[in-house]
Structure 1
């Protein structure tokens, strides 16, 4: 009986190759950041969040409450650190609260 040659690859490796080949990483990062924001901030902040967008390593968050915007502005570095840890890589370098 002939021996098979092993050309097996891990599914994760194949998916990463597809993502890089088709330049899908920025879109996946956008989705990951929005999900991380919703998970980490909780219902209190999410009720006042109008939109969350990632552009060029900057997280843009539009809030409907000026008081909440001011409160969150004191913890921008903590927000960056928490979201990057949630995603598992450094995607965000700055936060802009509107």
Structure 2
């Protein structure tokens, strides 16, 4: 079992330490990217989004509308910037729309 420290720590500090010790950051980034996509894109885009996956630093988004895919392809850099700002760190470097 882990040694208990007598110093008072906030819950956020304890959770950060737990995530770092167990190397859970990549898994949490995958979940956080999905949440950021749904919150930033809104219902109009989310209705046509069928799959979202983060592999390394590339975000793959599968859309059921070719028209929407073409329209979003014009603003890929802006979407990547918005997602990274939402997450507070550079997780996504490249966006691929399928």
- Pairwise same-fold verdict (TM > 0.5): yes
Matched residue, 1:7: 7
Matched residue, 1:82: 82
Report the Cα distance in structure 1 between the residues aligned to 2:8 and 2:45, rounded to whole angstroms.
46
1:91 match: secondary structure: coil
Consecutive unaligned residues of structure 1, counting only runs of 5 or more, are 1-5
Report the Cα distance in structure 2 between the residues aligned to 1:8 and 1:64, rounded to whole angstroms.
50
Report the Cα distance in structure 1 between the residues aligned to 2:94 and 2:29, rounded to whole angstroms.
15
Consecutive unaligned residues of structure 2, counting only runs of 5 or more, are 1-5
Q: Which runs of 4+ in 1 moved over 3 A?
A: none
Aligned residues: 93
Report the Cα distance in structure 2 between the residues aligned to 1:47 and 1:84, rounded to whole angstroms.
22
Deviations 1:12-67 (A, max 9, x none): 12111100111111111111110110011011101110001111011000001111
What do you get for the CA RMSD once the two structures are aligned?
Answer: 1.0
1:54 match: secondary structure: strand
TM-score scaled by length of structure 2: 0.90
Larger Cα-atom Rg: 1
Report the Cα distance in structure 1 between the residues aligned to 2:32 and 2:83, rounded to whole angstroms.
9
